[in-house]
Amino acid sequence: MAGTILLTGAAGFIGSHFAERLISRGHDVIGLDLFDAFYDPAIKEANVRRIRDLGGSFTLIRGDIRDGELLRELPDSIDSIVHLAARAGVRPSIADPLLYTDVNVRGTQELLHLADQRGIRRFVFASSSSVYGNNEKVPFSEDDRVDHPISPYAATKKAGELICHAASHLQGMDCICLRFFTVYGPRQRPDLAIRKFARKVLTGEPIPRFGDGSTARDYTFINDIVDGIESALAWTSRVGSSGGAGRFEVVNLGESRTITLNRMIQVVGEVFDRIPHVEEHPEQPGDVARTFADVSRARDLLDYAPNTEFEDGMRIFAEWYLREGARQDGVV
Ligand code: NAD
């Protein structure tokens, strides 16, 4: 792959890890990020410093994916787009659905338009397991119906997949939508439960548990997600080189193992060697009962082989948190 890769959301949790991977492979990367205030932008600045420390070909553009004029000024050398920028998070999307739709749907459409104007044929889109809503059937497979999202965030991700499909069909673009299942590991977003609970267990505050703790998540370690995104980008090159009409795929990236909320809280206690104190709350609207990925399509198409046990990934997360994350979160 010779061209430049446009990576949106490069300063974020997953984006910064993926930027590091691309640079370590010798790619030219343009990172586009707004450094929005969804969480402390200083954390994103620290993420970018780590990318720059690698010393590769990384250009950062501070800007908005919804800014069509800025997109038009991007270098001609871009031949692939990995689109990770978004307003993430289920609960805040209920408070501000207009913003979520604007960034996640209109922003994605702007990038698809850029691809159309430039003849960019490779597009990777970050979707989410939340599109499955309260899917009864487990594990969740890409052929299951996903017409019943239960939060604005989930609806924007499904909408993103749909507009990607239309663009792939009309523009002859090879496009792959990756449904990430709750990603964790070093530099995890501070709004996500594991990191919130880490802070609380270290400060001795009670851990808020919504519901009876039987809800379950397929937690995916960041390195496995990064492997999956890298393979997805390689897939767009592989199918593109065979010519013809644009290919479109939707693929789950999870660990294919579920962990209950109660077990997650227990493991947080174990890795920090503390006893968690749980404070009970009613279930939250928008939260799904469980997520559980069928990863057979990822295995077949991308040679995806997630191999991080939750307990091992959490030990790596805890080492990082004690070294860096705790300071960022004001835990002295
Ligand atoms: P993140 O918030 O850390 O990263 C997103 C980045 O996008 C941020 O740095 C933010 O500043 C940037 N951004 C937001 N709006 C922008 C805009 N208008 N223009 C340019 N940049 C903008 O989130 P993350 O956890 O790294 O998630 C990355 C992607 O993966 C998102 O699309 C998210 O919806 C998706 N996803 C994440 C998870 C997870 O568990 N972390 C699960 C499923 C899907």
Q: Which atom of ligand 1 is closest in space to residue 15's alpha carbon?
A: 26
Residue closest to 180 by CA, chosen among 99, 97, 108, 124: 124
Q: Report the pLDDT value the prediction gives residue 2, as an integer from 0 to 100.
A: 65
CB 108 within 8 A of CB 83: yes
Q: Report the pLDDT value the prediction gives residue 286, as an integer from 0 to 100.
A: 83
15 within ligand 1 shell (Cβ under 6 A): yes
Alpha carbon distance 113, 167 (integer Å): 8
Please state the pTM of the whole predicted model: 0.98
Could you tell me the maximum CA-CA distance found in the chain, to the nearest angstrom? 59
Task: Specify the residue with its C-alpha closest to ligand 1, atom 9.
Answer: 12
- Which of 153, 184, 304, 321 does the annotation list as catalytic? 153
Reported in sequence order, the residue ranges of the chain that DSSP labels E, i.e. its strands, are 4-8, 28-33, 57-62, 78-83, 122-128, 174-180, 183-184, 207-210, 216-217, 220-221, 248-253, 259-260, 278-281
Indicate the angle between helix axes 193-203 and 310-320, nearest 10 degrees.
60
Q: Report the pLDDT value the prediction gives residue 245, as an integer from 0 to 100.
A: 85
232 within ligand 1 shell (Cβ under 6 A): no
pLDDT in tens, the chain (332 residues): 468 999 999 999 999 999 999 999 999 999 999 999 999 999 999 999 999 999 999 999 999 999 999 999 999 999 999 999 999 999 999 999 999 999 999 999 999 999 999 999 999 999 999 999 999 999 999 999 999 999 999 999 999 999 999 999 999 999 999 999 999 999 999 999 999 999 999 999 999 999 999 999 999 999 999 999 999 999 999 998 777 789 999 999 999 999 999 999 999 999 999 999 999 999 988 888 999 999 999 999 999 999 999 999 999 999 999 999 999 999 97
**Strands 28-33 and 4-8, sheet pairing:** parallel
Alpha helices in 172-309, H assignment, sequence order:
193-203, 222-241, 261-272, 296-302
Q: Report the pLDDT value the prediction gives residue 241, as an integer from 0 to 100.
A: 76
Q: Is 304 an active-site residue?
A: no
CB 72 within 8 A of CB 115: no
Task: Specify the residue with its C-alpha closest to ligand 1, atom 17.
Answer: 64
88 within ligand 1 shell (Cβ under 6 A): yes
Q: Which atom of ligand 1 is closest in space to residue 180's alpha carbon?
A: 43
Helix (H) or strand (E) holding 47: helix 41-53
Q: Report the pLDDT value the prediction gives residue 240, as an integer from 0 to 100.
A: 82
CB 256 within 8 A of CB 332: no
The alpha carbon of 43 and the centre of ligand 1 are apart by a number of angstroms equal to 13
256 within ligand 1 shell (Cβ under 6 A): no
Alpha-carbon dihedral 247, 298, 226, 55, rounded to 10 degrees = -50
Q: Report the pLDDT value the prediction gives residue 244, as an integer from 0 to 100.
A: 74
Task: Specify the residue with its C-alpha closest to ligand 1, atom 2.
Answer: 12
Tell me how far CA of residue 240 lies from CA of 25, 80, 235, 313, in angstroms.
20, 11, 8, 35
